[in-house]
Amino acid sequence: MGNIKKKIGNLDDPRMPFIYADREYGTVPKDTERAPFQWVSEVAYKNVHRIVSRGYDTTELMEEGYGLVDVLFVDFQARIPSVNEEKMLSYIMVMALEDGLSMPAMISRMVAKSKTFLTQAAGASILAFGHAYGAFSAFGNRLEDNLVKAEAENISLSEMAEIMVKADFDDEGFGMSGLMTNDPAAKRMIARAKKLGVSGKYIEFTEKILEVAKKENKGPVELDMVGAIGSTMMDLGFSSEAIWAIIAITRSFAAGAHYIEEVERGEGYNRLGETLTPKEWYDGPADRPVPPLEERSKHAKAAQTHSLKEWSEEFSKREQYFGTGYKIHEEIEDPSKKTGIKKVGK
């Protein structure tokens, strides 16, 4: 049995097809026929003298007068934008930066109360965007997929819009809903894009879909910010995944401001384990004694069921409790994979 000095688990079991103790330590010999792995990037490089993004020295860009928004085009699209394109993205980013005391802002403040780092608060805030993290990817991929299909199959935009409304209007990332019937922000963004001459096929297609959605639905329907930002930024040349990244970082500026304000107001922190919750806030099962361990079999109940009827009854019982997941009948899908176009994670 080889040179096993001590028995470790089942490694000396005679039924094993090999003697484990005789197996070689170390790795396979180094492959000298190919170059070793190294990170390679088309986006940027840096040495002791300069940072270069897509071939442009970033210091020279700033010294020449280009700004942050210009460099977003450089980083994500490898090009310097026109003046009106830069103005349009600036408009979008200002509109997206602050949202008042919305849920993401409150999340940032809640994390701040736990005496943690600002970056953690900003990250938590971004992840609380809702609509499965902003839905820009879901909206953009659907729009692009159906636009390509319409062009390939010679389907008019109006016809394709009807197909999309019937199939997907209830999706939260559809880009139009009853959310902004009284808020003109989304309409103004589209109007701004047209005024600057940067609107294109994505805004045109989105407006066709909106026309159909208004006809097909009884309730009020208007373009929301997912649809306005998504279609406008796609006409600016950004992919739906790039939109995610840019809007997330834009909003993190505001999340940081909310964090700082929460700290500076000086209302104190909630340290780990400090928060107490009175029994009046609890509405679960009444207090009950813990059974002795030797009596476990008298109180324990297996989760497994053995018939459809038994399963149905047990499921109904579990639905009576909150916090178990049995009341949830909807799964949140990965928005980047809703439409079949997968730019990320191929």
The domain limits of the chain are 82-271+332-346
E-strand stretches of the chain: 44-46, 51-53, 56-57, 176-177, 222-223
Is 122:256 a contact under the CB 8 Å cutoff? yes
Q: What is the pTM of this model?
A: 0.79
The tokens of 10 are what?
């089942």
Is 247:255 a contact under the CB 8 Å cutoff? no
Q: pLDDT confidence of 345, banded at 50, 70, 90? A: very low
For the chain, the average pLDDT equals 89
- Greatest CA span in the chain, whole angstroms? 83
Backbone angles phi, psi at 223, to 5 degrees: -65, 135
Q: Which helix (DSSP H) or strand (DSSP E) does residue 314 occupy?
A: helix 308-318
Q: pLDDT confidence of 252, banded at 50, 70, 90? A: very high
Q: Is a pLDDT exceeding 80 seen at residue 7?
A: no
The alpha-helical segments, DSSP class H, found in 153-184 are 157-168
pLDDT value of residue 133: 66
67: number of CA atoms within 13 Å, CB side? 8
3-state secondary structure of 266: coil
Q: Is a pLDDT exceeding 70 seen at residue 331?
A: no
How many whole angstroms separate alpha carbon 290 and alpha carbon 286?
Answer: 12
The tokens of 211 are what?
């026309």
How many whole angstroms separate alpha carbon 261 and alpha carbon 248?
Answer: 20
pLDDT value of residue 3: 55
Q: Is a pLDDT exceeding 90 seen at residue 152?
A: yes
Mean pLDDT over 41-53 rounds to: 95
Where is average pLDDT lowest: 102-111, 129-138, 146-155, 255-264? 129-138
How many whole angstroms separate alpha carbon 322 and alpha carbon 42?
Answer: 49
In eight-state DSSP terms, residue 320 is T
Long-range pairs for 194-198 at CB < 8 Å and ≥24 separation?
A: 196/84, 196/85, 196/87, 196/88, 197/84, 198/82, 198/84, 198/85, 198/88, 198/232, 198/235, 198/236
CA proximity to 81, closest of 73, 91, 90 = 73
Q: pLDDT confidence of 5, banded at 50, 70, 90? A: low
pLDDT value of residue 335: 60
The better pLDDT of the pair 77, 337 is held by: 77
In eight-state DSSP terms, residue 306 is -
Return all residues near 33 (Cβ < 8 A) that are at least 6 apart.
none
Mean pLDDT over 312-337 rounds to: 81
The better pLDDT of the pair 225, 179 is held by: 225
pLDDT value of residue 346: 41
Q: Which helix (DSSP H) or strand (DSSP E) does residue 203 occupy?
A: helix 201-216
How many whole angstroms separate alpha carbon 230 and alpha carbon 344?
Answer: 17
Mean pLDDT over 330-340 rounds to: 61
Is 342:144 a contact under the CB 8 Å cutoff? no
Backbone angles phi, psi at 124, to 5 degrees: -60, -40
205-238 as b/e, with b when 16 or more CB fall inside 10 Å? bbbbbbbbbeeeeeeebbbbbbbbbbbbbbbbeb
Q: Is a pLDDT exceeding 90 seen at residue 52?
A: yes
Is 161:208 a contact under the CB 8 Å cutoff? yes
189 exposure class (CB count in 10 Å sphere: 0-12, 13-18, 19+): buried
pLDDT value of residue 276: 84
Is 211:222 a contact under the CB 8 Å cutoff? no
Return all residues near 68 (Cβ < 8 A) that are at least 6 apart.
none
pLDDT value of residue 337: 62
How many whole angstroms separate alpha carbon 102 and alpha carbon 13?
Answer: 61
Beta bridge partners of 52: 45, 57
Return all residues near 297 (Cβ < 8 A) that are at least 6 apart.
none
Mean pLDDT over 54-82 rounds to: 97
